Amino acid sequence: MRRLGFFGGTFDPVHLGHLVPAVRAFETFRFDALVFVPAFNPPHKLAEPLTAFSHRFAMLALATQPYERFLLSAVEAERKGPTYTVDTLRQLRERVSVEQVYFLMGSDSFSQIGEWHRWQELVSLAHLVVLHRDTVWGEELAARVPGELRGRMRNVEPFHEVPDPEPGSNWIYLLQHEPFPVSATQLRERLRLGRSIHELVPPEVHRYIVKHRLYHQGGEPGNEI
Protein backbone atom coordinates (compact mmCIF):
# COMPACT_ATOMS: atom_id res chain seq x y z
CA MET A 1 0.00 0.00 0.00
CA ARG A 2 1.30 3.45 -0.86
CA ARG A 3 -0.51 6.00 1.28
CA LEU A 4 -2.58 5.30 4.36
CA GLY A 5 -4.35 7.90 6.48
CA PHE A 6 -5.45 7.60 10.12
CA PHE A 7 -7.95 9.88 11.81
CA GLY A 8 -8.17 9.62 15.61
CA GLY A 9 -10.64 11.23 17.98
CA THR A 10 -13.41 10.60 20.46
CA PHE A 11 -16.11 11.04 17.80
CA ASP A 12 -18.79 11.65 20.44
CA PRO A 13 -20.61 11.83 18.04
CA VAL A 14 -19.01 11.83 14.58
CA HIS A 15 -20.25 14.88 12.62
CA LEU A 16 -19.83 16.62 9.26
CA GLY A 17 -16.97 18.68 10.69
CA HIS A 18 -15.05 15.39 10.74
CA LEU A 19 -16.35 13.98 7.47
CA VAL A 20 -16.17 16.98 5.13
CA PRO A 21 -12.50 17.82 5.86
CA ALA A 22 -11.69 14.08 5.85
CA VAL A 23 -13.04 13.83 2.29
CA ARG A 24 -10.95 16.87 1.30
CA ALA A 25 -7.84 15.24 2.78
CA PHE A 26 -8.65 11.89 1.19
CA GLU A 27 -8.96 13.43 -2.27
CA THR A 28 -5.92 15.65 -1.87
CA PHE A 29 -3.54 12.97 -0.62
CA ARG A 30 -5.14 10.16 -2.63
CA PHE A 31 -5.01 7.75 0.29
CA ASP A 32 -5.46 4.10 -0.49
CA ALA A 33 -7.58 4.05 2.65
CA LEU A 34 -8.48 6.38 5.52
CA VAL A 35 -8.89 4.59 8.84
CA PHE A 36 -10.96 6.20 11.59
CA VAL A 37 -9.66 5.25 15.03
CA PRO A 38 -12.09 6.08 17.84
CA ALA A 39 -10.37 6.64 21.19
CA PHE A 40 -11.35 4.28 23.97
CA ASN A 41 -10.05 6.04 27.03
CA PRO A 42 -8.18 9.20 26.01
CA PRO A 43 -6.16 10.72 28.88
CA HIS A 44 -7.05 14.33 27.98
CA LYS A 45 -10.80 13.68 28.15
CA LEU A 46 -10.92 11.61 31.34
CA ALA A 47 -12.63 14.42 33.23
CA GLU A 48 -15.79 14.16 31.10
CA PRO A 49 -17.82 10.95 30.81
CA LEU A 50 -17.70 9.68 27.24
CA THR A 51 -20.55 7.91 25.50
CA ALA A 52 -20.02 4.13 25.43
CA PHE A 53 -17.37 3.06 22.94
CA SER A 54 -19.88 0.67 21.31
CA HIS A 55 -22.21 3.60 20.48
CA ARG A 56 -19.43 5.85 19.19
CA PHE A 57 -18.09 2.99 17.09
CA ALA A 58 -21.54 2.15 15.71
CA MET A 59 -22.14 5.79 14.71
CA LEU A 60 -18.77 5.90 12.95
CA ALA A 61 -19.62 2.68 11.13
CA LEU A 62 -22.85 4.25 9.86
CA ALA A 63 -21.13 7.52 8.90
CA THR A 64 -18.25 5.89 7.00
CA GLN A 65 -20.31 3.14 5.36
CA PRO A 66 -21.05 5.16 2.14
CA TYR A 67 -17.32 5.70 1.52
CA GLU A 68 -15.68 2.64 0.05
CA ARG A 69 -12.21 3.48 1.34
CA PHE A 70 -13.10 4.84 4.76
CA LEU A 71 -12.37 2.11 7.28
CA LEU A 72 -12.75 1.75 11.01
CA SER A 73 -10.40 0.34 13.65
CA ALA A 74 -11.22 -0.79 17.18
CA VAL A 75 -7.54 -1.08 18.08
CA GLU A 76 -7.89 1.35 21.00
CA ALA A 77 -10.57 -0.79 22.66
CA GLU A 78 -8.13 -3.69 22.82
CA ARG A 79 -5.84 -1.93 25.29
CA LYS A 80 -6.46 -1.39 28.99
CA GLY A 81 -5.77 1.91 30.77
CA PRO A 82 -5.29 5.31 29.10
CA THR A 83 -4.71 5.03 25.36
CA TYR A 84 -2.05 7.24 23.83
CA THR A 85 -2.09 8.10 20.12
CA VAL A 86 1.63 7.41 19.81
CA ASP A 87 1.15 3.78 20.96
CA THR A 88 -1.86 3.34 18.69
CA LEU A 89 0.03 4.67 15.69
CA ARG A 90 3.00 2.43 16.40
CA GLN A 91 0.72 -0.60 16.72
CA LEU A 92 -1.13 0.23 13.50
CA ARG A 93 2.15 0.76 11.63
CA GLU A 94 3.34 -2.68 12.73
CA ARG A 95 0.17 -4.31 11.42
CA VAL A 96 0.16 -2.83 7.91
CA SER A 97 2.90 -2.63 5.33
CA VAL A 98 2.67 0.87 3.87
CA GLU A 99 5.06 3.41 2.31
CA GLN A 100 3.63 6.65 3.70
CA VAL A 101 1.51 7.07 6.81
CA TYR A 102 -0.51 10.24 7.50
CA PHE A 103 -2.26 11.20 10.71
CA LEU A 104 -5.15 13.66 10.47
CA MET A 105 -5.98 16.12 13.23
CA GLY A 106 -7.84 19.40 13.57
CA SER A 107 -5.81 22.58 14.04
CA ASP A 108 -7.08 22.88 17.64
CA SER A 109 -5.49 19.50 18.42
CA PHE A 110 -2.32 20.38 16.54
CA SER A 111 -2.00 23.65 18.48
CA GLN A 112 -1.62 21.49 21.62
CA ILE A 113 0.71 18.90 20.13
CA GLY A 114 3.52 19.94 22.49
CA GLU A 115 1.43 18.57 25.39
CA TRP A 116 0.76 15.18 23.78
CA HIS A 117 2.38 12.10 25.27
CA ARG A 118 5.76 11.43 23.53
CA TRP A 119 4.87 13.92 20.79
CA GLN A 120 8.39 13.86 19.26
CA GLU A 121 7.98 10.15 18.64
CA LEU A 122 4.46 10.69 17.31
CA VAL A 123 5.60 13.17 14.65
CA SER A 124 8.37 10.76 13.61
CA LEU A 125 5.86 7.96 12.96
CA ALA A 126 3.65 9.76 10.44
CA HIS A 127 3.16 12.88 8.38
CA LEU A 128 0.53 15.09 9.96
CA VAL A 129 -2.38 16.49 7.98
CA VAL A 130 -3.80 19.44 9.89
CA LEU A 131 -7.45 20.29 9.19
CA HIS A 132 -8.59 23.88 9.37
CA ARG A 133 -10.66 24.70 12.47
CA ASP A 134 -11.73 28.30 12.72
CA THR A 135 -10.69 28.49 16.40
CA VAL A 136 -6.97 28.51 15.60
CA TRP A 137 -5.12 28.85 12.30
CA GLY A 138 -2.37 30.81 10.55
CA GLU A 139 0.23 32.71 12.56
CA GLU A 140 -1.50 32.00 15.85
CA LEU A 141 -1.27 28.27 15.19
CA ALA A 142 2.40 28.46 14.20
CA ALA A 143 3.15 30.43 17.36
CA ARG A 144 1.57 27.78 19.59
CA VAL A 145 3.43 24.70 18.32
CA PRO A 146 6.96 23.71 19.40
CA GLY A 147 9.49 25.75 17.38
CA GLU A 148 11.25 22.70 15.98
CA LEU A 149 8.07 21.73 14.10
CA ARG A 150 7.65 25.04 12.25
CA GLY A 151 10.23 24.23 9.58
CA ARG A 152 8.32 21.11 8.66
CA MET A 153 4.99 22.86 8.07
CA ARG A 154 3.74 23.11 4.47
CA ASN A 155 0.54 24.67 3.13
CA VAL A 156 -1.45 22.41 0.83
CA GLU A 157 -4.40 23.43 -1.34
CA PRO A 158 -7.31 20.98 -1.38
CA PHE A 159 -7.35 18.72 -4.44
CA HIS A 160 -3.86 19.82 -5.56
CA GLU A 161 -1.49 16.95 -6.02
CA VAL A 162 0.96 16.40 -3.15
CA PRO A 163 4.25 14.79 -4.24
CA ASP A 164 5.77 11.96 -2.21
CA PRO A 165 8.14 13.31 0.44
CA GLU A 166 11.83 12.40 0.37
CA PRO A 167 12.53 9.16 2.26
CA GLY A 168 13.06 9.67 5.97
CA SER A 169 11.34 13.07 6.16
CA ASN A 170 8.08 13.73 7.96
CA TRP A 171 6.02 16.74 6.97
CA ILE A 172 3.19 18.62 8.58
CA TYR A 173 0.65 19.57 5.94
CA LEU A 174 -1.77 22.40 6.66
CA LEU A 175 -4.78 21.74 4.47
CA GLN A 176 -6.13 25.11 3.31
CA HIS A 177 -9.80 24.16 3.13
CA GLU A 178 -12.76 26.26 4.22
CA PRO A 179 -13.40 25.59 7.90
CA PHE A 180 -16.52 23.66 8.80
CA PRO A 181 -17.29 25.18 12.18
CA VAL A 182 -19.01 22.45 14.15
CA SER A 183 -17.89 20.51 17.20
CA ALA A 184 -19.24 17.50 19.07
CA THR A 185 -19.48 19.66 22.21
CA GLN A 186 -21.82 22.04 20.35
CA LEU A 187 -23.92 19.13 19.09
CA ARG A 188 -24.25 17.57 22.54
CA GLU A 189 -25.28 20.94 23.94
CA ARG A 190 -27.87 21.47 21.19
CA LEU A 191 -29.37 18.05 21.89
CA ARG A 192 -29.53 18.76 25.61
CA LEU A 193 -31.44 21.95 24.81
CA GLY A 194 -33.79 20.02 22.53
CA ARG A 195 -32.50 21.73 19.37
CA SER A 196 -32.03 20.02 16.01
CA ILE A 197 -28.68 18.74 14.75
CA HIS A 198 -30.14 17.33 11.53
CA GLU A 199 -27.91 19.23 9.11
CA LEU A 200 -24.71 18.61 11.07
CA VAL A 201 -24.51 14.80 11.13
CA PRO A 202 -25.25 12.17 8.47
CA PRO A 203 -28.94 11.09 8.54
CA GLU A 204 -28.02 7.55 9.66
CA VAL A 205 -26.16 8.97 12.66
CA HIS A 206 -29.09 11.20 13.50
CA ARG A 207 -31.47 8.24 13.44
CA TYR A 208 -29.09 6.26 15.68
CA ILE A 209 -28.90 9.09 18.24
CA VAL A 210 -32.69 9.36 18.35
CA LYS A 211 -33.21 5.58 18.52
CA HIS A 212 -30.79 5.13 21.44
CA ARG A 213 -31.76 8.42 23.11
CA LEU A 214 -28.13 9.50 23.36
CA TYR A 215 -26.96 12.84 24.75
CA HIS A 216 -30.11 13.54 26.68
CA GLN A 217 -30.03 14.77 30.25
CA GLY A 218 -30.73 12.66 33.33
CA GLY A 219 -28.41 9.69 32.95
CA GLU A 220 -29.91 8.22 29.80
CA PRO A 221 -28.33 4.98 28.58
CA GLY A 222 -25.01 5.35 26.84
CA ASN A 223 -23.52 8.18 28.85
CA GLU A 224 -20.74 6.16 30.37
CA ILE A 225 -17.71 4.34 28.94
Q: What does the binding site for ligand ATP look like in residue numbers (CB under 6 A)?
A: 9-12, 17-18, 21, 105-106, 108-109, 131, 133, 180, 182-185
Nearer to ligand ATP, 2 or 17 (CB): 17
Name the minimum Å distance from CB 139 to ligand ATP: 19
Nearer to ligand ATP, 12 or 76 (CB): 12
3-state secondary structure the chain: CCEEEEEEECCCCCCHHHHHHHHHHHHHHCCCEEEEEECCCCHHHCCCCCCCHHHHHHHHHHHHCCCCCEEECCHHHHCCCCCCHHHHHHHHHHHCCCCEEEEEEEHHHHHCHHHCCCHHHHHHHCEEEEECECCECHHHHHHHCCHHHHCCEEEECCCCCCCCCCCCCCCEEEECCCCCCCCHHHHHHHHHCCCCCHHHCCHHHHHHHHHCCCCCCCCCCCCCC
Name the minimum Å distance from CB 97 to ligand ATP: 26
Nearer to ligand ATP, 120 or 185 (CB): 185
Is 45:9 a contact under the CB 8 Å cutoff? no
Name the minimum Å distance from CB 207 to ligand ATP: 20
Nearer to ligand ATP, 99 or 134 (CB): 134
Name the minimum Å distance from CB 167 to ligand ATP: 27
Nearer to ligand ATP, 2 or 195 (CB): 195
Name the minimum Å distance from CB 39 to ligand ATP: 8
